[in-house]
């Protein structure tokens, strides 16, 4: 944070917000150096509301009481799963170190805490995402090369 307020900081932050909207970005982080021990760090984030499209469903004829199966459990939200590994940033996911290489992990693999699960590229920086705990990879929720948002579930490790 700056030691001395700069009048241009407000205009700078407003310009960043406009840049965010103009380029359809969701997050932008910048650090401005004014001198020794005098800087300004700004992170502008656009909150988006996700609206689910209506899904058309059809009711099936009721089954006879003797043949009725138990009701299926509602689909679980992977982001709420206790073993969910969330993206720490906005970026592009890579499941392997380079194109054509063997993925870091696959479903069913045992992993150790700190082991690289995948990479999230953000602003030309490759960020290795480590396993938060030892366990087994139960699900991979992203595709190689796909874009992810901050907090999006990437993988389930139990």
Region of 141 please: left (phi>0), alpha (psi -120 to 50) or beta: alpha
Domains of the chain, first to last: 7-45 (no CATH), 80-157 (2.40.50.100)
Instruction: Tell how strand 116-122 and strand 91-94 pair up.
Output: antiparallel
Higher pLDDT, 54 or 69: 54
**According to the 3-state scheme, what is the secondary structure of 88-99?**
CCCEEEECECCC
DSSP 68: P
Question: Is 67 strand, coil or helix?
Answer: helix
Region of 138 please: left (phi>0), alpha (psi -120 to 50) or beta: alpha
The strand pairing partners of 32, in sequence order, are 40
Mean pLDDT over 3-32 rounds to 71
Alpha carbon separation from 101 to 6, 94, 98, 121, 136 (Å, rounded): 49, 11, 6, 17, 21
Buried b (16+ CB within 10 A) or exposed e, 23-32: eeeeebeeee
The pTM for the full model equals: 0.52
Within 8 A by CB and 6+ apart from 65, the residues are: none
pLDDT band at 2 (very low <50, low <70, confident <90, very high): very low
Taking only the tens place, the pLDDT of each residue in 63-104 is 555 544 455 545 667 777 788 898 999 999 999 988 889 999
Higher pLDDT, 14 or 137: 137
pLDDT of residue 22: 77
> Which segment of 14-18, 98-102, 109-113, 143-147 scores lowest on mean pLDDT?
14-18
pLDDT higher than 70, residue 135: yes
């Amino acid at each position: 944070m700056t030691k001395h307020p700069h009048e241009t900081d407000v205009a700078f932050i407003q310009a960043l917000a406009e840049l965010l909207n103009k380029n359809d970005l969701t997050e932008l982080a910048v650090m401005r150096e004014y001198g020794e021990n005098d800087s300004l760090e700004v992170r502008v984030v656009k909150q988006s509301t996700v609206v689910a499209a209506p899904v058309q469903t059809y009711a099936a004829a009721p089954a006879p009481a003797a043949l009725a199966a138990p009701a299926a459990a509602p689909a679980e939200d992977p982001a709420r799963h206790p073993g969910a590994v969330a993206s720490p940033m906005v970026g592009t996911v890579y499941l392997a170190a380079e194109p054509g290489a063997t993925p870091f992990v696959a479903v069913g693999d045992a992993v150790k805490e700190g082991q690289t699960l995948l990479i999230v590229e953000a602003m030309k920086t490759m960020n290795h995402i480590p396993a938060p705990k030892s366990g087994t990879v139960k699900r991979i929720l992203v595709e190689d090369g796909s874009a992810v948002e901050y907090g999006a579930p990437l993988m389930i490790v139990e």
